């Protein structure tokens, strides 16, 4: 039987171990929408906290949580209403739908779609059945809905396709209320929605997803330094949480790839290894957006969005954006952490010959920090284990497990990335010592219960 790819194994583990489920699963799922299960919620929350803490640790970055629904004019000003579309073709025979630019790229043709520019697709056939394709149509990716009881165009609004616009339209509020001076950044995490034509690769490209974005407002003369600073900081963040540098790289966008307003853009890519041909893919973008966004909002809102320099000269700040996907980062950390050990790591258990899976997540990201086991289901051992659980539960996310052999329980925790397991055995009742086992080294420490809190404080500092 053909060995599964690592990516498929991670998808499988995510579902069977409670990280990520297809949305509306009992109804057959909803295409490219996913729910985070109990462990996925913890992992994602830890990741978002790590991002927010990292960004706000800079003295010049503040946070924001803007609404998903916004004034529809915002999308006119930002260019999303007119330009946020993908070129789409359908197969006339099998009805499959494709991104025209992707089909051209596969044929080695550089696609340049524009308002007045549609490349010739007559030589391109359906990759599924060889059928003839329709003309290229531009398909806007924004989800529409209506506000209020009347479903007419006057009440049409959109689910935001990026969180960034919520930051731009709050620029003035944040600047004035906190009396900030340029340069400063506004960071926020939130849901975004895109009616993607070809979603896929699990949580890599979804229709409902989360972004973690920061817009850094800076004087036009200082953009080069700001860009370099943020590209390095963001790359370091992924490395600091355990991604091997060899699986990360920068990819600078060529001039003809840039959005019309962008001065420079580069992606931080991760080696997702979806297939032999699909290895490094975008994880996060660093963009020099010039003064496009604030200028547009100034024009459409008729509100002055300028600041003054030291010579009292007014200008519109430029923006360096860091724009990452929470879900893509979650997938990257899961892929990176997934480790198989052939033949197992322990030789004394009944399943020692089996392949063992260890999810080597950074401790800060691990959904469960500590597992507590009584060696057996004896009442006094269980009571002691629960006492320990209760004493640590306000500080750490814990789990309690009393079923199966200790070896099996260790392996269940290894699979979900729990860094430490604490076992209460018969000796504990006499000498108050528990065994703490480390996920990665399998080293066992014997710790007095009275010192457990201090022990873990050191481990998780």
Beta carbon of residue 210, minimum distance to ligand GAP (angstroms, whole number): 8
CB of 178 to ligand GAP, least distance (A): 23
The DSSP symbol for 136 reads P
Residue whose tokens read 């010592």: 433
293 vs 165, 171, 203, 261, 265, CA distance in Å?
Answer: 8, 11, 29, 9, 15
Q: Consult the annotation and say whether 350 binds a ligand.
A: no
| Cα–Cα distance measured from residue 51 to residue 63, given in angstroms and rounded to the nearest whole number | 11
Map tokens 């997540």 to a residue: 361
Q: Is 457 annotated as a binding residue?
A: no
- Closer to ligand GAP by Cβ: residue 64 or 398: 64
Least Cβ distance, residue 34 to ligand GAP (angstroms):
10
Is 326 marked as a binding-site residue? Answer: yes
Residue 12 Cβ vs ligand GAP, minimum distance, rounded to whole Å: 20
287 vs 409, beta carbon nearer ligand GAP? 287
Question: Who's near 411: CB < 8 A, 6+ residues apart?
Answer: 351, 356, 357
Distant-in-sequence, close-in-space partners of 154: CB < 8 Å, separation ≥ 6: none
Which CB sits closer to ligand GAP, 285 or 367? 285
Binding site annotation covers 101? Answer: no
- How far is the C-alpha of 177 from the C-alpha of 130, rounded, in Å? 60
Is 285 annotated as a binding-site member?
no
- Closer residue to ligand GAP (CB): 170 or 349: 170
Closer to ligand GAP by CB, 111 or 419: give it.
111
CB of 258 to ligand GAP, least distance (A): 12
214 annotated as belonging to a binding site for a ligand? no
Find out whether 249 is annotated in a ligand binding site. Answer: no
Is 325 assigned a ligand-binding role in the annotation? yes
Binding-site ranges for ligand GAP (CB under 6 A): 162, 164, 194, 196, 205-206, 209, 211, 213, 282-285, 321, 323-325, 327-328
Residue 162 Cβ, how far from ligand GAP at the closest point, in Å?
4
Residue, CB closest to ligand GAP: 325
What DSSP state is assigned to residue 236?
A: H
DSSP-assigned beta bridge partners for residue 233: none
Cα gap 79→73, rounded to integer Å = 10
Nearest to 434 by CA among 370, 372, 365: 372
Kindly report the number of other CB atoms within 10 A of residue 70's CB atom. 17
Q: How far apart are CA 236 and CA 238, in angstroms?
A: 5
**CA torsion through residues 111, 112, 115, 118, sign:** negative
HSE-CB at 264 with a 13 A cutoff on CA atoms is: 15
Question: Of 42 and 327, which CB lies nearer to ligand GAP in the complex structure?
Answer: 327
Three-class DSSP category at 3: coil
258 is in an annotated binding site: no
Nearer to ligand GAP, 261 or 396 (CB): 261
Q: How far is the CB of 171 from ligand GAP (least distance, A)?
A: 15
**Shorter beta-carbon distance to ligand GAP: residue 80 or 409:** 80
417 known ligand binder: no
Min dist CB 215 to ligand GAP, Å, is 8
- Residues forming the annotated binding site for substrate? 99, 162, 209-213, 321-325
Mark the binding-site residues for ATP, compressed into ranges.
194-196, 204-209, 282-283, 325-328
The binding site comprises: 99, 162, 194-196, 204-213, 282-283, 321-328
């Amino acid at each position: 039987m053909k060995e599964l790819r690592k990516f498929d194994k991670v998808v499988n583990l995510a579902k069977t171990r409670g990280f990520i489920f297809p949305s509306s699963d009992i109804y057959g799922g909803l295409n490219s929408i996913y729910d985070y299960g109990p462990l996925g919620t913890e992992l994602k929350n830890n990741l978002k906290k790590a991002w927010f803490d990292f960004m706000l640790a800079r003295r010049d970055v503040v946070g924001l949580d803007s609404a998903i629904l916004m004034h529809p004019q915002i999308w006119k000003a930002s260019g999303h209403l007119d330009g946020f579309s993908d070129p789409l073709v359908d197969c006339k025979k099998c009805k499959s739908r494709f991104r025209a630019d992707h089909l051209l790229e596969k044929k080695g043709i550089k696609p340049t779609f524009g308002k007045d520019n549609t490349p010739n697709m007559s030589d391109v056939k359906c990759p599924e059945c060889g059928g003839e394709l329709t003309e290229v149509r531009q398909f806007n990716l924004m989800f529409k809905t209506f506000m209020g009881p009347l479903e007419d165009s006057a009440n049409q609004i959109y689910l935001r396709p990026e969180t960034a616009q919520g930051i731009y339209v709050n620029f003035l509020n944040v600047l004035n209320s906190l009396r900030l001076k340029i340069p400063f950044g506004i960071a926020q995490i939130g849901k975004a929605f895109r009616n993607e034509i070809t979603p896929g690769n699990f949580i890599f490209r979804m229709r409902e997803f989360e972004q973690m974005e920061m817009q850094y407002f800076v004087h036009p003369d200082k953009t080069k330094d700001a860009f370099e600073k943020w590209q390095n900081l963001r790359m370091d963040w992924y490395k600091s949480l355990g991604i091997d540098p060899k699986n990360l790289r920068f990819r600078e966008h060529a001039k003809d790839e840039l959005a019309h307003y962008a001065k420079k853009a580069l992606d931080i890519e991760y080696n997702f290894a979806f297939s032999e041909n699909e290895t490094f893919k975008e994880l996060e973008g660093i963009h020099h957006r010039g003064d496009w966004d604030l200028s547009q909002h100034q024009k459409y809102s008729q509100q002055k969005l300028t600041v003054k320099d030291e010579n009292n000269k007014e200008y519109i700040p430029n923006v360096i954006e860091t724009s990452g996907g929470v879900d893509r980062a979650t997938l990257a950390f899961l892929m990176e952490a997934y480790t198989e050990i052939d033949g197992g790591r322990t030789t004394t258990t009944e399943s020692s010959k089996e392949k063992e899976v260890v999810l080597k997540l950074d401790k800060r990201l691990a959904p469960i920090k500590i597992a507590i086991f009584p060696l057996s289901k004896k009442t006094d051992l269980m009571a002691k284990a629960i006492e320990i659980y209760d004493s640590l539960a306000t500080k750490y996310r814990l789990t309690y497990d009393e079923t199966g052999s200790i070896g099996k329980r260790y392996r269940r925790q290894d699979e979900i990335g729990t860094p430490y397991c604490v076992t209460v055995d018969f000796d504990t009742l006499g000498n108050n010592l528990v065994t703490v086992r480390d996920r990665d080294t399998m080293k066992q420490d014997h710790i007095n219960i009275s010192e457990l809190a201090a022990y873990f404080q050191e481990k998780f500092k």
